[in-house]
Chain A
């Protein structure tokens, strides 16, 4: 298999799944692709929809989270299916017909580790080099993971239930000498701005950011996250026992720009 596409579902609508499946069918073009669905929902009402769209469907029976869900699919894709690359795709995204081909093209560069699609029409404001695509970290919205990267550093850290697992994987990838890039012509329709202001999302992101700060040893940022959680009436989780990031991983980290984890363009 040239490319494995993984989608982790959770209580998505039939219309979302239909739309994504239609876009994948158009975008796969001449690529040798397989699509895998892992459904974290409490029921299997999406099974029929996914079945009509094609691809393998699995349901763990509990919500294992975003990163753990993709890790299971990645293990299968890189193992049994011997995929050259794996693409995480958010179920509320829509792939441009050229998206997958552009991701694969960008992943052909030496030491390619992660290649993200450009979220469209409202992309994340973190910077990228318009010539090379180099970017401090890659969003997991539509993200290609190379086989070489997976073999070297593994998948997502499953302690992150949702959010920041992509930032963590990116910093680990850079520390291991892989590139993290954005492919400007690989468009993925995804509008995150509607959710950005929601308090529930902000709190979930803060919990993950707190874990990230502990992992990379930034006590000041951890305290900022914990304080904001307390001020919002939420209890910060206790600090876990975890293996600290290596000096190289710490060098790749950036806690100076709030939850953007990079200097932003606007």
Chain B
């Protein structure tokens, strides 16, 4: 079955999903119909060796934090590098100050480093939109994100891109360090402690995806290889928008895991402004949350994202299957079938085919 719209990875995952729901189902037919009906993903023109790092920034009172983030990028070993500063700072004069700060660090970085500012002033928290605006402006085949309060070590991006170039994976994940920081007198940061993140091995996809131990700056995406997947953050989620994207990607693409020493820092500040990490929760609750997060992808291609979210749920269910009881597994299967049914209702041909193929579910 040719599934050019879906891409081979997503097609494979969906076949697995349908077969998980009903081993006798005609998975090939369902996937072929989906491929025919779903809207194609827009593929931007990408610069082949360029790494674009989208830096999200929110307000001018965070300039000291942003300064450190940009300094860490200026000393990154990866070249060529494009720093896309996506800021929503609404204060008067913000554009000029951000331009000046960015220019200073680009000058420090030297050759083969460019900077561009995407300024979308807003008084609301626009974290998802900022990431999307930055990604749309980014020209690199390789794409990474960095929040304005986090930092990377110099070999971080170079190591992840090397892992991508050395294999077939569409994205690569590195290990982060959790850093607890206090606000020092005068507004600076004072590091209280550093620790491995996650706290203990194994550093494997099921573990780190399930427990959300992958901060947004811990991975690099190869957009050439992600053509079947639209890189879009939810613009409606107040938090966990990065986790939602992570789940969608993880559902379809197996990453290269670079499990060496930590190469970036995820800073937890004492002002409570960080996203709270997800603790171990019951399987059903986790899947419900995964659905909510990963299915939320405004504003376009809702059906496509819903299908990807379903694959995400199926993957998480499969990862947890050994630990689940038979009853829980059945409940999950029914839940998945209902979600899939709802997701493709707007695609009449697919819906009919799906109903027929899952008729035996009872």
| CB neighbours of B209 from chain A (8 A) | none
| CB neighbours of B192 from chain A (8 A) | 265
Give CA–CA (A121, B65) in the complex, Å: 12
Give CA–CA (A187, B192) in the complex, Å: 17
| CB neighbours of A187 from chain B (8 A) | 68, 71
Majority SS of interface residues in chain B?
mixed
**Cβ–Cβ contact A94 & B182, under 8 A:** no
| CB neighbours of A191 from chain B (8 A) | 153-154
| CB neighbours of A131 from chain B (8 A) | 184-185
A130 in the interface (beta carbon within 8 A): yes
| CB neighbours of B72 from chain A (8 A) | 120-121, 189
Give CA–CA (A191, B188) in the complex, Å: 21
**Cβ–Cβ contact A121 & B104, under 8 A:** no
A123 in the interface (beta carbon within 8 A): yes
Known A96-B71, A131-B185, A187-B68; judge A18-B110 contact (CB<8 A).
yes
Known A121-B153, A122-B153, A130-B184; judge A265-B191 contact (CB<8 A).
yes
Q: How near does chain B come to A203, taking the closest CB pair, in angstroms?
A: 21
| CB neighbours of B191 from chain A (8 A) | 123, 265
A63 in the interface (beta carbon within 8 A): no
Give CA–CA (A94, B105) in the complex, Å: 12
**Cβ–Cβ contact B108 & A23, under 8 A:** yes
- Chain A contributes a number of interface residues (CB within 8 A of B) equal to 24
- Chain B contributes a number of interface residues (CB within 8 A of A) equal to 27
A159 in the interface (beta carbon within 8 A): no
B261 in the interface (beta carbon within 8 A): yes
| Minimal Cβ-Cβ distance residue in B for A27 | B108
**Cβ–Cβ contact A26 & B184, under 8 A:** no
**Cβ–Cβ contact B261 & A193, under 8 A:** yes
| CB neighbours of B185 from chain A (8 A) | 130-131
| Minimal Cβ-Cβ distance residue in B for A19 | B110
| CB neighbours of B71 from chain A (8 A) | 96, 120, 187, 189
Which of B72, B191, B192 is packed against the most chain A CB atoms within 10 Å? B191
Q: How near does chain B come to A19, taking the closest CB pair, in angstroms?
A: 7
| CB neighbours of B42 from chain A (8 A) | none
**Cβ–Cβ contact A120 & B68, under 8 A:** yes
| CB neighbours of A236 from chain B (8 A) | none
**Cβ–Cβ contact A184 & B75, under 8 A:** no
**Cβ–Cβ contact A265 & B184, under 8 A:** no
Give CA–CA (A122, B353) in the complex, Å: 56
Give CA–CA (A193, B189) in the complex, Å: 21
Q: How near does chain B come to A245, taking the closest CB pair, in angstroms?
A: 31
Proximity string of chain A (117-157) to chain B, C-beta cutoff 8 Å, 1 when within and 0 when not: 00011110100001100000000000000000000000000
| CB neighbours of B189 from chain A (8 A) | 184
**Cβ–Cβ contact B68 & A266, under 8 A:** no
**Cβ–Cβ contact B104 & A26, under 8 A:** yes
- Contact of B107 (CB < 8 Å), options: A26, A123, A189, A194: A26
B126 in the interface (beta carbon within 8 A): no
Give CA–CA (A94, B108) in the complex, Å: 9
23 pairs, A vs B, C-beta closer than 8 Å: A19-B110, A22-B107, A22-B110, A26-B104, A94-B75, A96-B71, A97-B104, A97-B108, A121-B153, A122-B153, A122-B265, A130-B190, A131-B184, A131-B185, A184-B188, A184-B189, A187-B68, A187-B71, A189-B71, A189-B72, A189-B75, A191-B154, A266-B194
